[in-house]
Amino acid sequence: MRALANGNSGASDFVRPGHVFPLVAKEGGVLMRSGHTEACVDLCRLAGLPPVGVLAELMNDDGTVMHGAELAAFAQRHTLQRISIAELIAYRQARDKLIERVGEFPVESAIGTLTGYAFLTPFDAVHHMAFVHGRIGDGANILTRLHRANIIADVFGGAKRIHQTLERFKAEGRGVLVLLRDGTAGVPVISIPKSSDTASGEARTRQWREIGLGAQILKDLGVNSIRLITSSRPTTYVGLSGFGIEIVGTEPMEG
């Protein structure tokens, strides 16, 4: 571990293959992806240490992974401090902001004029966007779609998901569509999906849902609780509570 943390180390200093699995944290830490890898690196940086850490899961004697009350009991028994990823997000969010609103513009759509917003991160020059129908108002119970841009489906496939979302917004009277650009900071690069790739597709969707980029955009718009329009089975959105975003419900998309 000391060799990994040493900036003078190179490939020749390590034996390969080895038994330590290297992980690379997203730039921006838990504010861009609310994962354990990012939390580990963020804690190192906050402590003034090199951004290299060790991750390990705590196991019970029967081989199962410790959760909840078991972790609390372990920490108390060994006088260890505990912190959740949500708490770390909340701490960093109060001090750091990794998106910047750089533009506001009208967008004509099938349901009328939307208000468009453009956002940038410090890590790339690609714009992420949000499109708002109606007034956000108090920011509570906002119908929301987090949409990862898909050139093939959105340009050549008739943008079915987007049009379905807009129709939901029209019936509701308000809503927010967040468009995240693929392959940029906080949005994982994926291969072109194959029809037989259902399992890996679900795994990629879970990975995408862990990012904090969409949550930061919603927070910037004044949204605090959402009803999420989703095109897949319900999955926990890790870390959103740390941004002050509550999911009060999920609504499946047709087709």
**Is the same domain home to 34 and 160?**
no
Residue 104 amino acid letter: E
- CATH number of the domain enclosing 57: 3.90.870.10
Q: Which of 88-92, 136-140, 209-213 has the lowest mean pLDDT?
A: 209-213
Question: How high is the pLDDT of residue 241?
Answer: 65
Same domain, 68 and 187: no
177, 227: one domain: yes
134-156 exposure pattern, b = at least 16 Cβ within 10 A, e = fewer:
bebeebebbbbbbbbbbeeebee
Q: What is the pLDDT of residue 151?
A: 80
- On whether both 135 and 80 belong to a single domain, the answer is no
> Model confidence over 79-136: pLDDT tens digits?
999 998 888 887 887 788 778 999 999 999 999 999 999 999 887 778 999 999 999 9
Are 176 and 87 within one domain?
A: no
pLDDT for position 195: 44
| Domain interval for residue 248 | 100-252
Number of domains, the chain:
2
pTM for this structure? 0.67
pLDDT in the model for residue 134: 97
Q: Kindly state the DSSP code that residue 153 receives in the 8-state scheme.
A: I
pLDDT at residue 105, rounded to an integer: 97
pLDDT number for residue 186: 53
Supply the mean pLDDT for the chain. Answer: 82
Q: Are residues 66 and 107 in the same domain?
A: no
Domain CATH code at residue 145: 3.40.50.10990
Domain boundary among 67, 93, 119: 93
Instruction: Mark whether 23 and 89 lie in a shared domain.
Output: yes
Over range 153-159, report the average pLDDT.
84
Residue 231 in contact with residue 253, Cβ under 8 Å?
Answer: yes
Per the model's pLDDT, the better-predicted residue between 238 and 131 turns out to be 131
Same domain, 174 and 129: yes
Boundary residue ending a domain (93, 110, 140):
93
Last residue of a domain, one of 69, 93, 117: 93
Do 25 and 41 meet the contact criterion of CB atoms below 8 Å apart? yes
Q: Place 211 in a pLDDT band, splitting at 50, 70 and 90.
A: low
**Do both 15 and 70 map to the same domain?**
yes
